[in-house]
Chain A
Amino acid sequence: MIEATRSVSTPLDVSTTVDVSMTVDVSMTVDGAPLRARVPARYLLSDLLREQAGAGGVHVACGQGICGACTVAVDGTAVRACLMLAVQADGTRVQTVASLSELEGETPARRDDLTPLQKAFREHHALQCGFCTPGLLVSTALFLSQHRAAREGAGARPGRAEILDHLNGHLCRCTGYANIIAAIESVLT
């Protein structure tokens, strides 16, 4: 079983050339806007995004990497923001659900237009309370674009098994998933 490691509160004696610090400077872009902050090393990316970048679309539910609600894109890869330290995103491009049209590779005619994925979720009743939805939209947009990239020209599309594997990373307590699967399948081309 997993054992707790020993806790040490004495100051560290560090004699190397590598910076070792309890506080760190971070700099990144969040949904296109630059963000600079000085934060404790233990500050999580999910907290940074919500508290310092005002990214309310980053939903924190379990806070321990199980539910997927806080999923964001870091340099184009889906990441659970509650399992990444803010300092680990230093120098990266972070996109939350506010960048969904970009993640889907769409240019909306008007700023408030729904993306194809959002429309599909609405049409298929793929959400009820909506708490899991932002993380689900971000990772589904990336899942679909990965498939498009990997299978360019092959004409194959993700099957039911791959969609279910993808949804393994997201907990939804409202829908029972059937409508989410239907929404995702409806946008496959």
Chain B
Amino acid sequence: MKPAPFAYARPGSVSDAARLLASHAAEASLLAGGQSLMPLMTRRLARPALVIDINRIAGLDQMELLPTQVRMGALVRQEQALRSPIVRQYIAGVAEALAWVANPVVRQRGSVVGNLVTNSPGAEMPAVAMALGAQFVMRDQDSETTVPAAQLLGAGKEIPAGTMVTHVLWPRRTGAAGFYEVARRDGHAPVVSAMVTLSGDDCRVAVSGVCATGLSCPTMARLIAREFPHPPHTRDLARALQADLTGPAYGDSYSSAAYRLEVAPMVTQRAAAQMAMQAPAV
């Protein structure tokens, strides 16, 4: 029994979960796949007084193809999304990124929304959601709102306490995509990762690991679109990245900020090359 003691609740509906969460905002944690929360709890880096297990809420494991969006519930597992024809066909970049998250056993349990709400520089998906213009469906005690992910993810931002993300809405977007990352060990959190996707001449670039959280990089994206199908030179990508930084570069005791800034253009260049190989000939 490594986690600190906590009370456990297993609500059967979103409204019950939202009510419980709202009444214990500061001391409650939502448990979906648990692949981020449980290691934090066993190391006692997280000590919630109340764990709200949402795994038995019906319907949250569904993906729906809407006219302009794909709606993904908070219990959709990473492996389920990665293998979904809807995701592969209608949200270019997401399956490519999910394939790099952890390993198959963890992906079968870990949820896409769970990876997003970590808002961590060591997670692949937050940057992808920001770059693709995803939205969160947020539920608190009395209302449901839809908020752009970019307003809640990124440096200095957070999901308000007492609020539950019930769904993520991905804008439908067909096209080619590439992903690449460097990690200290395969299947571990990336040091730097990059997703590049091109739909028509609309290019998006998501980079993790160089800012405190994920980063959407429109300047690098314009450069890649302009030079497509040739990946730009890393020197030019490095200059573009400087324009895209929204805050101080991030570093930790393993990988300095300087290293990450140096490696990010190379990682992005490889993702762009991958994308070019996937795209139909021009």
A contacts, CB < 8 Å to B: 1-10, 12-22, 24, 40-44, 47, 63-66, 68, 71, 77-80, 82-85, 87-88, 139, 143, 164-166, 168-169
Contact = CB atoms under 8 A, between A and B. Distances in A.
Most buried by A among B20, B27, B104, B105: B105
B6 A22 contact: yes
Interface stretch (B44-52, B90-98, B234-242): B44-52
Contact of A8 (B9, B27, B105): B27
Contact of A42 (B1, B9, B26, B186): B1
A111 B225 CA distance: 62
B6 A41 contact: yes
B2 interface: yes
B20 A20 contact: yes
Contacts of A10: 49
A5 B105 contact: no
B23 interface: yes
B8 A168 contact: no
Contacts of A77: 108-109
Contacts of B31: 85, 88
7 contacts: A4-B47, A12-B24, A14-B7, A19-B9, A41-B5, A42-B5, A88-B55
B27 A6 contact: yes
B9 A139 contact: no
A83 B44 CA distance: 13
A166 B26 CA distance: 37
A87 B3 CA distance: 14
B106 interface: yes
Most buried by A among B8, B20, B102, B252: B8
A2 B42 contact: no
A83 B34 contact: yes
The 10 closest A-B pairs by CB, nearest first: A169-B103, A41-B8, A168-B187, A168-B103, A7-B47, A8-B27, A83-B38, A8-B49, A169-B105, A42-B3
A6 B25 CA distance: 11
B39 A4 contact: no
Contacts of A14: 7, 9, 20, 23-24
Most buried by B among A6, A71, A143: A6
B29 interface: yes
A4 to B, nearest CB: 5
Interface of B: 1-12, 16, 19-20, 23-24, 26-27, 29, 31, 34-35, 38-40, 42-51, 53, 55, 99, 102-106, 108-109, 120-121, 186-187, 252
A8 B53 CA distance: 19
Contact of A65 (B35, B47, B53, B121): B35
Given A1-B252, A88-B34, A165-B99, 7 more contacts: A18-B11, A41-B8, A42-B4, A78-B104, A85-B34, A87-B8, A168-B104
A83 B11 contact: no
A24 B26 CA distance: 23
Given A79-B109, A83-B35, A12 B50 contact: yes
A47 B1 CA distance: 7
Contacts of A139: 105
Given A80-B105, A87-B8, A18 B20 contact: yes
Contact of A20 (B9, B12, B47): B9
Contacts of A8: 26-27, 49
B18 to A, nearest CB: 10
Nearest to B47: A7
A58 to B, nearest CB: 14
Most buried by B among A13, A77, A168: A168
B1 A85 contact: no
B106 A80 contact: yes
Contacts of A166: 103-104
B55 A2 contact: no
Nearest to A138: B105
A13 B51 CA distance: 14
